[in-house]
Structure 1
Amino acid sequence: MNYKTVGISLIFLLCALSLSAQQDGTFAAYKLAPDETLVLDGRLDEPFWSAVATATAFRQQEPLEGQLASEQTAVQVAFDEKNLYIGVRLYDSEPGKIKAYQRRRDADLATDDFFAFILDTYDDQRSAFYFETNPLGMMGDGILRTGQGSTINRDWNGIWRVWISRDEKGWMAEFRIPFMTLNFNPNNDTWGINFLRTIRRKNEITLWEGYRRNQGIERPQDAGKLTGLSGIHQGLGLEAIPYAIASGSQRRLDPENPMQGQHSFNAGGELNYNINPNLKAGVTINTDFAEAEVDDRQVNLTRFPILLPERRDFFLQGANVFQFAPSSNPNPYFSRRIGLQDGRPIPIRYGGRVIGRVRDTDIGLIHVKTGEAGELPGENFTVARVLQNISSESTIGAIYTRREMEGDSLPVRETFGADISLSTSKFLGNKNFQFETFFVGHTPTFFNDSSSLMDRSVRGLRFNFPNQPWDAHVSYREFGIRYNPAVGFVPRVGFRRLQPTITYNPLIEKSNVLRELSWQYYFEYLMLMNWEPATVNHRLRFLGLRFESGDILNFSVLHNYEFLDFTFDILRDGAYLIPEGRYQNRGFSIEAISAPFRKIGGAVTWTNMGFWTGRQTSLEADIFMRPLIGLNMTLSYIHSKVDLEQGNFKTHLLRLNSSYDFSPWVSINFNVQYDNVTERLGTNSRFIWILNPGNTLFIVHNHNWQRFLDRLRPMEIQSTIKLAYTFRF
């Protein structure tokens, strides 16, 4: 007997059986027997793994759409009553060329080889939990929600772990995800699931299901199915997260006054309870955000305020539920309105939230009580969101916010809105098509406010065709002249806006140099409420090049029209005043982006553009350096040279972000920022030690200086130590 022939035949038979088991994108999870044990070391050498169904046959999304992956991947799933286990073997014919730089949790893995997967625990094709790792054991996660495009809330930090090992065949990963970390329907034993692998040196992206360019890991409607998940539970579902914090600070109100110091100790925490596997309730007392990153400083030369991202964990958890027409930005709820005033923290006395699902309805409810801060009285904030699933990929929803200030200086301010999102992934056979419409209005902002509801509301609609190589959308919206949601954010009001965009991104399959070409036309026509043009923008990317190396070049021409109906003070200091009038501006921009896996690289954008009565030349550069594994440094420089009839000036903004990650559990971060408009220099240093997932020690030091009489004088010094611990029952 020819044993070699028999062996090869058996291998092909096993592969055929594996492929047969997943022809329809479905495979079964393996339930561990009571006597089967799992040693979590990233090696997949326990005997039971040989009996577990395997998902293989990953296919390329890029560079050769639909072709089998150049390096194969095998994924297996097992579970017991408390945890889900995912074992992954990532084969690599050249393991010495595997790229891995990142260790810090939620680091950007555009630099690395990595493996990611989603769990659509309701099997509703609308939302999913997202997890990822790399060959260094970095842990990344988030919550995914579809809509007008897909967004991953990467600020969600679940409690789970991954173990990694490497050998001559590639690398392996073992994940343990407690069911208490997830929300799910205990009566449904089928979840949506999909897997993605990136081989960075080849710029190859492969997926198990949904590998077409208009699909991907962020579309749970294109995922496969995981079956057999029965007999799982979350224990009591009770989670307590107490914290203790000690801080010392010195401040002065202006550079001529002496520093005044104070010390404080505080304690508080959160208590969360899973009402059922679908619905989680929580309360927080004496909420503190000392560990949050500082905001990136901005130099704002526009007429409108800039939206800064939320960085506080309490408001980030479940934030995807509260999203409302995110592509149109009516922003009826903006969490930085709660507990912050001009960037300064306002004490939060207590808060509560309920987030989850009841049958086919997503719900979110937040109530927060803030304390007094100087002359600011305490306030009560309430936010409620309901999102009902309809048909296979669509939703209809409503939002409500309420803000009540103690005292009688302002009325109770309430905001209400409704939105509809209709989506299909089967338009013209296999294309994506989406429609969205919304309305938001609010009660009067002040006593004796005589404005109409139309003045205090926004409304709009949007058609979206998110596909490849063609991608297009068109939107129309109206923002009333008195629209000002009390718990929201709006930079500009009193306009009607039409905005279409069309993009063409063909892949070049027979080139060893070019991966993709790109052309895009963006048009914005913004009118005042009397239909008079206020802002008109044309932006034509007449050539975009994405190379096989991962480097990108974009060339664009720009045209802008502005109607200015008031005198605009550019620097807010009276030095450069732009008179009322109509202004035509023309220019161009060049953008260069290096492949992110390089040890030294970055992105540079140079723009030369008309600017009011003159011209503006701007340079934006982000240069990264990774001399060692775990060491990441990014130097950002934003420079503007403005020449006007009223005079000339230059602005400079410099940021240095650096970090060293000793492991996925221990890191040091240092941030320094300076700009010549405010003439403030600030540093933020953070030491983070994750003792175990959910148990973290933070040490934070902030130091800020202000230029005064040609010297920098310290304005604020603050040091904080915080320990947060998680107990699960």
Structure 2
Amino acid sequence: MPTQEEWAFRLRSANAKVQTVRRGTVVSRIHKWDCIRGTFLATALCIAGRADTLPQRESASQVETRAADVAQAFRVDHAPKLDGTLNDPLWQSAKPITEFRQQEPYEGQPATERTEVRILHTRHAVYFGIHCFDSEPSRIIASELRRDVSQNLDDHFEVLIDSNHNRRGAYVFQINPLGTQIDGLIVEEQRDNSAVDFDSGWDGVWTSAAQIGADGWTATVEIPFTTLNFTHSSDVLWGVNFKRFIRRKNEADLWKAYRRTFGITKVSQAGNLEGIKDIGSGRLFVVKPYGLARYDKQTGQDLKFPLTGGVDVKYGLSSNLVLNLTGNTDFADTEVDLEPFNITPFKVFIPEKRQFFLENAGVFNFSLGGQDQLFFSRQIGIDPITGNQVPINGGGKLTGRIGRLELGVMDVDTRSIGPNPYSNFAVVRLKESLWAGSYFGVMGIDKRSGDVLDSFNQTGGLDTRLVFLKDWLVDAHMAGTQSPGNLSGNSDLGAALTYRSNWVEGIVRRRKTGPNFNPEVGFVERPDSNETYGDLTFKVRPNIPGIRELQFEGFLLHAPDTVGQVSTQEWQNTFRAEFHNGGYTDDDIVDVFTQRITAPFHIYKSVFIPNGLYHFTRHQLTYGSGQDRKFTYNFFERFGGYYAGTLNEFRVRANYRPTAKFSVSASETWDRLRLPLPNGNFSVLLASLQGNYSFNRFLTFTSLVQMDTSNAQAVSANLRLRYNYRPDSDLYIIYNVGTQFASIAPANPPQVRETRFAIKCTYSWQR
């Protein structure tokens, strides 16, 4: 059996020379990028092999804590009754945590409603008993029964566990008064851009139940140590924190990290949990096979009736390292994208939704500024032009932490289909932790394909984040790409200074992107840019009934191309108001825009906006209703100039939740364009209607009907029945007409329409 050192040597040797087979001819190349790739992968494997010999966490004797920051877990011989109540006498043996303070609306003030948390543990799991007292229990809001769906319209409670006590990342478990679950990860204290406090792509196996009673609502939670990938230990120190949200008051209460600029994601400010001893759990090990039968018909292709299957494996190499493997990966159960209509000449950013790529996705984050990313997983397995799925043969992913080093290694192989040749994607991400919230990182990406004209694309980058005095952040990066031809102008350099406080936020950013910077496995909205950006927001909390905060923002963007010619320029003044009931208004007083078009821009059917330099001014009005009602809505109206003509955009969205089992939402976007071009006067209507019915927490039905009048076939539909018949095991019945994944390309390219009926069953086996 080869040693770790021998495997590392073989891997470096194998990657020093890459052989690409093209039409029966073997062509050999040696690139400096191959050596870098091999070194990265070898380093990761060597580190993984030494994982259990390196320090995993601080011991209790190494950490000084104040008594007020310490919670105690109490050992019991058997699990308490997990029925959503705290009637089991075992709960009374635990000392309750009660000192919750407001983050919103009045930072640092005692919570308006009392909250108690009790913690027990056995050899195999930790248990949380939660009592959310409420002076008006009839006004508790609980309306969501679907797992992993935002609970922002409900009362809810979050449990944060930093099981490695590295003060940088954590697991988060969230429940509402119906016991409905959301879970996820926090990486480097960064918040996800979605409607939750964390990266919700991670799914764990845990048990929850909740009940509404005469004095509030209670919940019981069981989290196995295997879910936390926590191995044997005799004396444990964790980081923990808790957050309660009271919907009708729009009030957020936390045990620790209750500053408005902190919140639950500020893991370094969490409290400590002591008292967990003599754990007898093993490593995380999950095998999850699936079977799939489907009817599949795409435009211009023959009808198919494939029967197939595959498997996903998750294994904890150590308490800090997790290996994910996937074979013949399928995403039939992934939610469909909402159809966009792109009114800009740039790419469209559409978030990742596929489970394999979502899990631990934060480890691979490398921001270039704004939405631009050095690594964007939607470039793997989805055609960026048509949105068609590209079959994935298999892949592997290693993520975790070794001491102060956070690492992510991924390798995915796709097979040829249609215009997409076979490809292999290798990604390595390393980050060395510095002080709280700060790091220095490196990333390498290697793409190989059977495309004769584009056989490889390689990307590398360095980045850092430095946090000073808790409120000042410095972000900087440098990156480069290499493709056939080795063109110059293939780099991206940037730096930003950010300040955040309760009363003012500001950012100044400089970034230069070369015209040939081309990370094919990343997302860059616009290359060839020399950008200067500044944004300043003032925030005040006046003593005006109903109003929580007023904001006044102004920003300036100046982005000529790299030879100094004006490309994009914008300045904007915005007024916002946030109301105590969760309502808001967001109004652009003025938005002055300059844009140069260098290639005819396809906007609609036979309409192309010609080359030229355009100046126009726009205005925007937005209003969102209070979030504490069964019926909520928001609308958006933007009007003004648009490429020598005018554009009026009107959007409205409404949600109605009459019961916890049924909800319906509708949205509409109406774009009215008047352009001085042949056929330049036209309108585009995008609309969607979504209905959700939950028979219970484990059986749900969702329907989504969309309309897009810019397409020849305007209507699409997706129907999905999900039955969670055992933990982490599901049966799906899916019917889809239209497109599952939308294109991210500019100029609204035509989409391939499909009709698909699928039955998919997964079964999760855990040791």
TM-score after normalising by structure 2: 0.85
2:424 is the alignment partner of 1:380: yes
CA distance in 1, matches of 2:618, 2:67: 53
When structure 1 is superposed on structure 2, of 226-235 and 376-385 the one drifting more is 226-235
1:631-650 alignment runs, 5 A limit: 631-646=662-677, 647-650=680-683
* Corresponding position: 1:306 with 2:338: no
**Of 588, 593, 598, which residue of structure 2 is paired with 1:556?**
588
Deviation at 1:565, TM superposition (A): 4.5
Q: Give the direction of change, closer, same or farther, for the CA distance of 1:150–1:686 in structure 2 (3 Å limit).
A: closer
Q: Does 1:698 align with 2:740?
A: no
Take 2:438 and 2:189, find their aligned partners in 1: how far apart are those partners? 8
Pick closer, same or farther for the CA change 1:665–1:354 going to 2, 3 Å. Answer: same
The Cα of 1:123 is off from its aligned counterpart by: 2.1
Counterpart pick for 1:688 among 722, 725, 728: 722
Q: Check whether the contact 2:581–2:627 (CA below 8 A) recurs between aligned residues.
A: no
Query: How far 1:330 sits from its partner (Å)?
Result: 4.2
Q: Is the 8 A contact 2:232 2:281 kept in 1?
A: no
Q: Give the Cα–Cα distance (whole angstroms) in 2 for the partners of residues 329 and 704 of structure 1.
A: 27
Q: Distance in 1 between matches of 2:753 and 2:556?
A: 45
What's 1:4 paired with?
Answer: none
Separation of aligned partners in 1, 2:507 and 2:630: 37
Contact map agreement 2:622 2:637 (CA 8 A) in 1: yes
- 1:592 is displaced (CA, Å) by 0.2
What secondary structure sits across from 1:320 in the alignment? helix
Aligned to 1:591: 622
Given that residues 80 and 91 in structure 2 are in contact (C-alpha distance below 8 angstroms), is that contact kept between their aligned partners in structure 1?
A: no
Cα contact 1:557–1:589 (8 A) shared by 2: yes
* 1:720 lines up with 2:767 in the alignment: no
* Kept in 2: contact 1:303–1:568 (CA 8 A): no
Secondary structure of 2:99's match?
Answer: coil
Amino acid corresponding to residue 618 of structure 1 in structure 2 = E
Determine if the alignment matches structure 1 residue 546 to structure 2 residue 574: no
CA contact (8 A) 1:124 1:392 kept: no
Name the amino acid aligned to 1:474: V
Per the TM alignment, residue 142 of structure 1 is displaced from its structure 2 partner at its CA by 1.3
Q: Helix, strand or coil: the match of 2:578?
A: strand
Q: Distance in 2 between matches of 1:65 and 1:580?
A: 51
In the alignment, structure 1 residue 68 sits paired with structure 2 residue 110: yes
Distance 1:147 1:588, change over 3 A: same
- Aligned pair partner of 1:438 in 474, 477, 489: 477
Note if contact 1:291-1:698 (Cα within 8 Å) is conserved in structure 2.
yes
For residues 443 and 388 of structure 2, the distance between their equivalents in structure 1, rounded to whole angstroms, comes to: 27
How far apart, CA to CA, are the structure 2 residues paired with 1:565 and 1:587? 18
1:237-264 CA-to-partner distances (Å, cap 9, x unmatched) read 32110111111123432xxxxx842211
Asked if 2 retains the 8 angstrom alpha-carbon contact of 1:537 and 1:558, the reply is no
**Aligned equivalent of 1:203:** 250
Q: Are 2:693 and 2:700, in contact at CA under 8 Å, matched by a contact in 1?
A: yes
The structure in which a higher percent of residues are strand is: 1
Aligned to 2:691: 658
Contact 1:185/1:278 (CA < 8 Å) preserved in 2?
no
1:105 equivalent to 2:147? Answer yes
Alpha-carbon distance in structure 2 between the residues aligned to 1:619 and 1:394: 42
Is 1:473 aligned with 2:529?
no
Structure 1 gap ranges (5+): 1-20, 254-258, 706-713
Please show how residues 317-466 of structure 1 align to structure 2 within 5 Å: 317-325=359-367, 327-341=369-383, 342-406=386-450, 408-424=452-468, 427=469, 431-443=470-482, 445-446=483-484, 449-452=485-488, 455-466=489-500
Q: Distance in 2 between matches of 1:122 and 1:327?
A: 30
Residues 282 and 156 of structure 1: is their aligned pair in 2 closer, same or farther, counting only changes over 3 Å? Answer: closer
Partner secondary structure for residue 282 of structure 1: strand
Are the equivalent residues in 2 in contact too, given 1:502–1:522 (CA < 8 A)? Answer: yes
- Give the residue type in structure 2 aligned to 1:362: E
* Deviation sequence 1:41-93 (CA, Å, 0-9, x none): 12222323222122112111222222211110001112122211111111111
Cα separation, 1, equivalents of 2:530 and 2:461: 19
Partner AA of 2:501 in structure 1: N
**Alpha-carbon deviation of 1:105?**
1.0
SS in structure 2 of the partner of residue 197 of structure 1? strand
Deviations 1:157-180 (A, max 9, x none): 111121112221111111111122
Q: CA deviation at 1:325?
A: 2.2
Q: Distance in 1 between matches of 2:292 and 2:152?
A: 35
| 1:118 maps to 2:164 | no
2: CA distance, partners of 1:728 / 1:512: 54
Task: Give deviations 1:365-409, integer Å, cap 9, x for gaps.
Answer: 111111121353321111111111112331111111111113644
2: CA distance between counterparts of 1:715 and 1:143? Answer: 35
- TM-score normalised by L of structure 1: 0.90
Q: Which residue of 2 aligns with 1:18?
A: none
Unaligned runs of 5+ in 2: 1-64, 740-751
Asked whether the equivalents of residues 615 and 642 of structure 1 are also in contact (C-alpha less than 8 Å), the reply is yes
**Equivalent residue for 1:617, pick from 648, 652, 668:** 648
| 1:17 alignment counterpart | none
1 CA distance for matches of 2:591 and 2:79? 66
Q: 1:505 maps to what in 2?
A: 539
Matches within 5 A, 1:16-55: 24-32=68-76, 34=77, 36-55=78-97
User: Aligned equivalents of 1:704 and 1:288: distance in 2?
Assistant: 18
Q: CA deviation at 1:547?
A: 2.2
- In 2, the alpha carbon distance for the partners of 1:353 and 1:450 equals 29
Q: 1:605 aligns with which of 631, 636, 640?
A: 636
Q: CA deviation at 1:578?
A: 2.9
For residue 495 of structure 1, the aligned residue among 511, 529, 534 is 529
Change (3 A) 1:280 1:715: closer
Q: Once the 2 structures are TM-superposed, how far is the Cα of residue 294 of structure 1 from its aligned partner?
A: 1.0
Percent of matched pairs sharing the same residue: 28
The answer (yes or no) to whether the contact 1:149–1:466 under 8 Å persists in 2 is no
Distance 1:567 1:381 in 2: 31
- Equivalent residue for 2:201? 155
Contact 1:122 1:185 in 2 (8 A): no
Which amino acid is 2:269 matched to? D
Assess if the C-alpha contact under 8 Å between 1:534 and 1:561 holds in 2: no
| Greater shift in the superposed pair: 498-507 or 84-93 | 498-507
Shift of 1:155: 2.1
Amino acid at match of 2:216: G
2:373 is paired with a residue whose SS is coil
* Cα displacement (A) at 1:628: 2.2
Amino acid paired to 2:539: N
1:170 and 2:222 are equivalent in the alignment: no
Do 2:231 and 2:280's aligned partners in 1 also have CA atoms closer than 8 Å?
no
Letter in 2 for 1:548: H
Matches within 5 A, 1:132-281: 132-146=174-188, 152-183=198-229, 189-232=236-279, 234-253=281-300, 260-281=302-323
Look up the equivalent residue of 2:590 and give its one-letter code.
L
CA spacing shift, 1:564–1:96, aligned 2, 3 Å: same
User: Could you tell me how far apart the structure 2 residues matched to 1:138 and 1:490 are?
Assistant: 37
- Indicate yes or no: 2:331 matched with 1:292: no
- Cα shift at 1:600: 1.4
In 1, distance between residues paired with 2:660 and 2:368?
A: 36
What is the CA–CA distance in structure 2 between the aligned matches of 1:222 and 1:117, rounded to whole Å?
A: 14
Shift of 1:667: 0.7
- Alignment partner, residue 5 of structure 1: none
Q: Would the aligned equivalents of 2:79 and 2:122 in 1 still touch at CA under 8 Å?
A: no
Q: How many residues align?
A: 681
**1:22 deviation in Å?**
7.6
